Chain A
Amino acid sequence: MSSKRFRGAGVALALTFGLLAGCSAGEGVAVDGGQTGAGGILTAAISGEPDQLDPHHTSAYPSFQVLENVYDTLVEPDANLAMKPALATEWTTSDDQLTWTFTIREEVTFSDGSPLTAEDVVYSYNRIIDEELNAAYRFATVESVTAPDPGTVVVQLTAPTPNLLASLGGFKGMAIVKKSNVESGAAKTEPIGSGPFAVSSYRAGDSTKLVRNDNYWGTKPKLDGVTFTFVQDPTVALQNLRGGEVQWTDNLPPQQVSALRADDDLVVRSAASSDYWYLALNQARKPYDDVNVRRAIAFALDRAAITKAAKFGLATVNQTAIPKDSAYYYDYTPYQQDLAQAKKLLAEAGGTDLTMDLMVTNEYPETVTAAQVIAAQLKEIGITVKIRTLDFAQWLDEQGKGNFDSFMLGWLGNIDPDEFYYAQHHSAGTFNFHGYRNPAVDNLLDQARTETDQAARKQQYEQAAKQIVDDASYLYLYNPDVVQGWSPQVSGYEVRADRAIRFRDVDLAQ
């Protein structure tokens, strides 16, 4: 059903960047920062504006930038994206892998002082499942969520799910919310979470202000508050950072980053993200059903050049999906640009004078830029690329209908290898719009999905990845870097591969 597809896409691209400012939801009560104490208030410039602040309803990255500091999940990824205790202090798994029992941290309260118990966890998860909200797919194997007592949550599964923790804690779209706050509709503008900060005001087109949550269960944040302002233009964001109006931004002009790294007045750091960008060829259409045509195109691409144009080098070229820093990284690079080889493969496949439609979207300008480089490169082997630039909604529609020869897009915010491969390359995968079918890969992905032995699981994913790359199901291009800059006054901040921005351990020298 198309509705499913849209919903799924919303999740896949949960972290959409650059959603333009516009209208946001309502005015909060402005709490005067009056008590500027030791930590002070950090102002962070982000490039987009939250559309709303209900974590289960939004899919906009700017919303999650704010909500990361407001909400908690049962578990949460540490710096290496390994799942660590958060609201759950510990958990056990039954022998058949079908029952997970979580112990909920004691004496946790929401920022309004009311207690957070297992009931809240059950309510939050069932809300996502019952209302089929964005993250519902993460509960695909969940049969029930129950709270036998206020300190325990039991998750019952229909099949072993080794990546359950990543599903439950991967991002704040799985946040534990407060029933009354959500049901009154207030969560859209005045969300109440249990995280280190609480939203104090939300002004459309301007800023969102957070104050320290003095009821926070963890180490109390040093900052008195965080103010998120929306600055669309990276040049302006940089100027604001230099001028001291803001102390942190993730919106630096990409072409200046290498120069900025050497600048003593700023701290610029980056981390390889777990996002990846790729080119997909429609295997339901001739001649792209021919693996040799796909491989020819793979050999014609100069990934370094594409990366340089699309990201000014702020990315790592990769021929598989999973980035280098991940435990699941698989070093496999069969394609180096080789025009002779590409032409030979193309000729063997009988593909001459090919005109290829390449669908990209304004929503992600890097696809538009990269497409122009790809077009120039494919011209070298006699393929004429017609670039089609669409609105994202239209783009998704065309993708769903299979109306394309090829498209370029990215997958953002994946953590577990299952998220990287299953939906995209399994013949029954929800996002297999390019029509890839390989029974061997299906088998491997099905197996790995429920494989509880980590070593065996890793090996299965490597085999699957190799086959996917050899078949050129996706032509993987690069993993972008997360680049953020801040003032030297800021201490305790770390750039994270999952693009979550956490200010709870940050201090601000005066």
Chain B
Amino acid sequence: MSGNGDSTSRRALVALGRDPLAVTGGVVLVLLVVAGLAGSWLAPAGINEVNVDRMLQPPSWAHPFGTDEIGRDVLSRVLVAARVSLEVGAVSVGIALLVGVTLGLFAGYYQGWLDNILMRCMDVLFAFPVLLLAVAIVAVLGPGLRTAMVAIGVVYTPIFARVTRAGVLSVREQVFVRAAVATGASDLRIMRRHVLPNIAAPLIVQTSLSLAFAILSEAALSFLGLGVPPPEPAWGRMLYDGRGFVTEAWWLGFFPGAAIFLTVLAFNLVGDALRDVLDPRQLTVSEARRHAG
């Protein structure tokens, strides 16, 4: 009857194990998390070890990714920056998930005017290109790590609201929900116990894909100088700082960008594999508008 989270995640894991691309993505993700947790320990040099006598040195044994415009070791900074990316991704998608699912749940469950109001609000947010809205929010709140998280969280909220609502609408009319209503269970309890677990699959897929887009958005914000402030290393910011030097120092542009690419790719691979298994027909709204901005 009412499906539960356990079986969903078990199915997902099994599916991932069978798909070589998903396994690759998964391995990259594990490496990323390791870098995120132990980056400063793994890094061969301190992230803020400035040394003007070794400015803009090309990759070498001592500095496999070269050095930046003030002589810092690029490899170390790329490693440590993994944490920022994962953090921003996790927190912002967390915000979008929490707010979006709550709104979508209420809209889909109660329908009527509440549904109308909530979803029209989501439509409004949806009318803005992702990055444009994020940039506007940053412009208003002032740049910084926290603002970036909030901004990205806000722009991805409507997607979760829509996915949730669509799920709720289909689950709502099913027998087990009606039965629960008949037993006089409270609305909140029904939503939590019966509705949510049954729409977990599309949400998991959406979360994985959104993490990819959120990390991309953070990188874009940082690339515009509107994200993580220095000296904290962040991939997008490293590209921003290195922009004036890439013609002489390709490694300043290459490595941080490659790190973003691999991370996003890993989340996308895992997300796609999950979708193939869990929710093959889900319309990935976010995909259609991802680099809008």
Residues in chain A within 8 A of chain B (CB atoms): 233-235, 253, 255-256, 305, 308-309, 362, 368-369, 371-373, 375-377, 387-391, 394
Q: Which of B55, B231, B245 contacts A308 (CB 8 A)?
A: B55
Contact call A256/B248, Cβ cutoff below 8 A: yes
| Extra contacts besides A253-B244, A309-B50 (7): CB < 8 Å | A235-B247, A253-B245, A253-B247, A308-B52, A309-B71, A372-B231, A389-B229
- Give the shortest distance, in Å, between B143 (CB) and chain A (any CB): 8
Contact call B244/A234, Cβ cutoff below 8 A: yes
Contact call A372/B142, Cβ cutoff below 8 A: no
A309 surroundings in chain B (CB, below 8 A)? 50, 52, 55, 69-71
Contact call B69/A255, Cβ cutoff below 8 A: yes
A377 surroundings in chain B (CB, below 8 A)? 50
Can you list 17 A-B contacts with CB-CB less than 8 angstroms, sorted by A residue number? A305-B52, A308-B55, A309-B55, A309-B69, A309-B71, A372-B48, A372-B50, A372-B231, A375-B50, A375-B231, A387-B229, A387-B231, A388-B229, A389-B143, A389-B229, A390-B142, A394-B142
If A255-B56, A389-B229 touch, whether A372 touches B70 (CB-CB below 8 Å) is yes
Of chain A, the residue at the smallest CB distance from B225 is A362
- Give the shortest distance, in Å, between A282 (CB) and chain B (any CB): 21
A375 surroundings in chain B (CB, below 8 A)? 48, 50, 231
Instruction: List the 10 closest A-B pairs by CB distance, nearest first.
Output: A376-B50, A389-B229, A308-B52, A305-B52, A309-B70, A372-B231, A373-B50, A309-B52, A235-B247, A368-B230
- Give the shortest distance, in Å, between B77 (CB) and chain A (any CB): 12
Contact call B70/A369, Cβ cutoff below 8 A: yes
* A308-B55 Cα distance, complex, nearest whole Å: 9
- Give the shortest distance, in Å, between A52 (CB) and chain B (any CB): 22
B230 surroundings in chain A (CB, below 8 A)? 368, 371-372, 387, 389
**Chain A interface mostly helix, strand, loop or mixed?**
helix
Q: Beta-carbon contacts of B26-60 to A below 8 Å, as 1s and 0s?
A: 00000000000000000000001110100110000
Of B50, B69, B247, which is in contact with the most chain A CB atoms at under 10 Å from its CB?
B50
* A369-B70 Cα distance, complex, nearest whole Å: 8
* A308-B231 Cα distance, complex, nearest whole Å: 18
If A305-B52, A309-B69 touch, whether A235 touches B244 (CB-CB below 8 Å) is yes
B70 surroundings in chain A (CB, below 8 A)? 309, 369, 372-373
A390 surroundings in chain B (CB, below 8 A)? 142
Instruction: Report B125-163 residues with CB < 8 Å from chain A CB.
Output: 142-143
Contact call B69/A369, Cβ cutoff below 8 A: yes
Instruction: Report B221-241 residues with CB < 8 Å from chain A CB.
Output: 225, 229-231
- Give the shortest distance, in Å, between B163 (CB) and chain A (any CB): 36
* A309-B230 Cα distance, complex, nearest whole Å: 15
Of chain B, the residue at the smallest CB distance from A372 is B231
* A233-B225 Cα distance, complex, nearest whole Å: 15
B247 surroundings in chain A (CB, below 8 A)? 235, 253
A372 surroundings in chain B (CB, below 8 A)? 48, 50, 70, 230-231
B52 surroundings in chain A (CB, below 8 A)? 305, 308-309, 373
* A24-B229 Cα distance, complex, nearest whole Å: 29
B48 surroundings in chain A (CB, below 8 A)? 372, 375-376
* A233-B69 Cα distance, complex, nearest whole Å: 17
A253 surroundings in chain B (CB, below 8 A)? 244-245, 247
Contact call B50/A255, Cβ cutoff below 8 A: no
* A387-B230 Cα distance, complex, nearest whole Å: 7
- Give the shortest distance, in Å, between B105 (CB) and chain A (any CB): 39
A255 surroundings in chain B (CB, below 8 A)? 56, 69, 244-245, 248
Of A256, A372, A391, which is in contact with the most chain B CB atoms at under 10 Å from its CB?
A372
B49 surroundings in chain A (CB, below 8 A)? 376
Of B69, B231, B248, which is in contact with the most chain A CB atoms at under 10 Å from its CB?
B231
- Give the shortest distance, in Å, between A312 (CB) and chain B (any CB): 8
Of chain B, the residue at the smallest CB distance from A386 is B231
Of chain A, the residue at the smallest CB distance from B70 is A309
A256 surroundings in chain B (CB, below 8 A)? 248
Instruction: Report B194-248 residues with CB < 8 Å from chain A CB.
Output: 225, 229-231, 244-245, 247-248
- Give the shortest distance, in Å, between A232 (CB) and chain B (any CB): 10
* A233-B229 Cα distance, complex, nearest whole Å: 21
- Give the shortest distance, in Å, between B135 (CB) and chain A (any CB): 14
A308 surroundings in chain B (CB, below 8 A)? 52, 55
Of chain B, the residue at the smallest CB distance from A307 is B52
- Give the shortest distance, in Å, between A359 (CB) and chain B (any CB): 12
* A432-B230 Cα distance, complex, nearest whole Å: 27
* A362-B143 Cα distance, complex, nearest whole Å: 11
* A377-B49 Cα distance, complex, nearest whole Å: 9
* A25-B256 Cα distance, complex, nearest whole Å: 39
Instruction: Report B244-281 residues with CB < 8 Å from chain A CB.
Output: 244-245, 247-248
- Give the shortest distance, in Å, between A20 (CB) and chain B (any CB): 11
Of B48, B71, B229, B230, which is in contact with the most chain A CB atoms at under 10 Å from its CB?
B230
* A305-B49 Cα distance, complex, nearest whole Å: 13
B56 surroundings in chain A (CB, below 8 A)? 255
- Give the shortest distance, in Å, between B110 (CB) and chain A (any CB): 43
A376 surroundings in chain B (CB, below 8 A)? 48-50
Of chain B, the residue at the smallest CB distance from A256 is B248
Of chain B, the residue at the smallest CB distance from A239 is B247
Of chain A, the residue at the smallest CB distance from B56 is A255
- Give the shortest distance, in Å, between B224 (CB) and chain A (any CB): 11
B231 surroundings in chain A (CB, below 8 A)? 371-372, 375, 387
